[in-house]
Amino acid sequence: MAAVDSFQFLYREISRSCGSYFETLALVGALYTASRAVILLSDCCTLVRVHFLPRMLPSRKLTQRYGDWAVIYGASEPVASAYAEELASHGISIIFITQDNTSVRDTAASLSQIYGVETSVVIADFSLGQAASKPIKEALRGKDIGFLVNCVDETLASPQSLIEMPEQDLLDQVNKNVTVATLMTRLVLPGMVERSRGAVVNISSSACCRPLRGRVALTAFTGYLDNFSKALHLEYSDKGIFIQSLIPFQIASGGRQPSSRPLSQREGWFVPKPEVYARHAISTLGVSNRTTGYWPHTLQYGMMRCVPEWIWILGSRMFVSAA
């Protein structure tokens, strides 16, 4: 090999011999950039299609599309209560399923008085097993049930280690968030299939997308509801039933004064009131089977997807350690 007199000469020789490799790497980089641009454009189009167009374009009444009655399980949660009120504002009568909660009775009376819809409260003790289904079946008989709304227990959002949860509390949460939600769907679906219309909405949490430290139970239960919705969609979408999984991020608590809430729960653009969230979420009915229900949350979801899971877990550990 000829002697190299200068670095510039060596660089020219290496560039000449590796030129084809540089071109290949440049092509790969261009293809990757183009694919990311296409994905970003697709996400933007989906954002507009799911969250903006339904609110701008006229559509048939919900009662015509799905039915005259809605069954709400978990109405003691602010989000489910706000969702029920939004349905009532569209002229849909409400059946509340509860184990024993006076606040649900107050909500039912308020909706009936304000919106002039029929409301009913069914007390069902699910600890009795199959016997709890009897009063629910009686309440559903002869009614055009168009909606079923299941809502995960929001108390699970408070950080708590799995081993710190009392065993009975854990069993109660499994019963409430998994067993009962599945049973309610089983009770309502036959009538929807017979009428070839209806909507099942499972409100869980974005915790089903990425694990959260100190929220093992919440991640597990929301993951179940999310995958349960996917399976229902696969099995019943061709029978005229719309199945939707709502996976919201942080929503402001409805019961306390703003000054008494933690900073992370203060109302804002990314932390909407339950009423605001419900209004946005209902507009996505019939449009998306899996959505956050609120477009700023969809932006958060998009940013979260860009973070590899191992970085997410590492960051969560560092955040908890710093706290």
d(CA 146, CA 193): 11
d(CA 312, CA 280): 28
Nearest to 248 by CA among 282, 287, 214, 198: 282
- E strand map for 4-157: 69-73, 93-98, 119-123, 145-151
Non-local (6+) Cβ contacts of 112 within 8 A are 118, 119
d(CA 317, CA 109): 46
Contact (Cβ atoms closer than 8 angstroms) between residue 122 and residue 95:
yes
Contact (Cβ atoms closer than 8 angstroms) between residue 236 and residue 225:
no
- The packing angle between helices 19-47 and 295-305, to 10°, is 160
Give the dihedral sign, CA 170/172/173/178: positive
Helices and strands (DSSP H and E) totals, the chain: 13, 7
pLDDT tens for the chain, 323 residues long, are 444 456 666 666 666 667 666 677 778 888 888 988 998 899 899 999 999 999 888 788 999 999 999 999 987 888 999 999 999 999 999 999 988 766 788 899 999 999 999 999 998 888 777 788 889 999 999 999 999 999 988 777 777 788 888 888 888 888 888 999 999 999 999 999 999 999 999 999 988 888 877 788 888 999 999 999 999 999 999 999 999 999 999 998 765 454 444 555 567 889 999 999 999 999 999 999 999 999 999 999 998 888 888 787 787 777 655 55
Nearest to 187 by CA among 198, 172, 173: 198
Q: Are strands 93-98 and 119-123 parallel, antiparallel or unpaired?
A: parallel
Question: What pLDDT does residue 169 have?
Answer: 86
Question: What pLDDT does residue 1 have?
Answer: 46
DSSP 169: H
d(CA 92, CA 282): 13
d(CA 307, CA 175): 33
Nearest to 94 by CA among 192, 102, 80, 191: 80
Contact (Cβ atoms closer than 8 angstroms) between residue 207 and residue 222:
yes
Burial of 277 (0-12, 13-18, 19+ CB in 10 A): buried
Is pTM, for the whole model, over 0.75? yes
Residue 30 in tokens:
């261009």
Give the dihedral sign, CA 187/185/183/99: negative
Burial of 40 (0-12, 13-18, 19+ CB in 10 A): exposed
- E strand map for 74-203: 93-98, 119-123, 145-151, 198-203
Give DSSP secondary structure letters for 247-296. Answer: -------SSS-GGGS-GGGS-SSSS--HHHHHHHHHTTTTT-SEE-SSHH
Contact (Cβ atoms closer than 8 angstroms) between residue 178 and residue 218:
no
Q: Are strands 145-151 and 69-73 parallel, antiparallel or unpaired?
A: parallel
